[in-house]
Amino acid sequence: MWSIGIYAGASPFELGPPPGTINPVITRESVTDVPAAFVADPFMVQAGGTWYMFCEVLNQRTNKGEIALATSLNGFDWFYQQIILSEPFHLSYPYVFDWGGAYYMVPEALESGGVCIYRADPFPTRWTLVHRLLCTPCADPSIFWFAGSWWLFACTTPYQHDELSLYHAATLSGPWLEHPASPIVRDDKRSARPAGRVLVFDNQIIRFTQDCLPRYGTQIRAFTVGELSTSSYREDEHPMSPVLKASGHGWNALGMHHVDAHELSPGRWIACVDGFAADEQ
């Protein structure tokens, strides 16, 4: 049973439960419009003084993932709103970002056979499919802008969790090309599957990854990308990795597998995370 919490800290590598916040902040019991088995994979953006969180809700009636919205005025107290995106296929990992005055979302859509991008019109409740980026089934596609290009990490062995591919494009709509060094991770369940938003700050690129040993969603590791161009790639594990792990009790007793961190001011970060615990029902 997955649920969603809020962490805070001095950096994206030093996150923990903030004082006064009772985690989890969103659970399956928060969902009011469909019967929910769990909530997971939260991503958030701030707009006009309000925080908007998008997450997966697994609909128990259809056994299909749908994308839901929650809102907060301070980033710590959250209120579930509604399902905002549902397709004939399973959706999860709603990677949301703003670009050029518009909001976009790249969710995981494995059953569609590829990677698609949606645009909000209007934000935050209506989303329209605008481009198909890849025709390769991918888990947890993670997109970011760096050095004048778009880049996308994705797990291309979505049921084995052991291979990470890298793609790039000059524009969001593509064409998207696979990097010559891709797959950049092979046969490694501990570092292949993305675990949330890629961070570009302080002249660094940080990617977070799910450690899927001994089981899926065990903990989160961090890697610093030291070299990235259309012809080369190099990364090293961050010295503070792993950055999030199971607590041994409560809502995240058995694992954590997602983080979306945002800098509020120098030395102040907030993040939405998820955690796994045994279903007590």
pLDDT digits (tens, 9 = 90+) for 104-159: 999 999 999 999 999 999 999 999 999 999 999 999 999 999 999 999 999 999 99
> Taking phi first (over 0 means left), then psi (-120 to 50 degrees means alpha), and beta for anything else, what does residue 203 get?
left
Q: Tokens at residue 253, please? A: 């007793």
| Contact criterion met (CB below 8 Å) for 131 and 119 | no
Determine the pLDDT at residue 279.
Answer: 78
| Contact criterion met (CB below 8 Å) for 44 and 25 | no
Q: Tokens at residue 218, please? A: 């065990």
Neighbours of 74 (CB within 10 A): 12
Determine the pLDDT at residue 280.
Answer: 55
Residue keyed to tokens 């070299």: 227
Report the C-alpha gap between 209 and 195 in whole angstroms. Answer: 5
Determine the pLDDT at residue 281.
Answer: 41
Write down all domains in the chain, each with its CATH number in brackets: 2-276 (2.115.10.20)
Burial class of 178 by CB neighbour count within 10 A (0 to 12, 13 to 18, 19+): middle
Name all contacts of 80-87 with Cβ < 8 Å and 24+ positions apart.
Answer: 80/26, 80/30, 80/31, 80/32, 81/125, 82/32, 82/33, 82/125, 83/33, 83/34, 83/57, 84/54, 84/124, 84/125, 84/126, 84/127, 85/118, 85/127, 87/112
- Residue ranges of the chain with per-residue pLDDT less than 50: 281
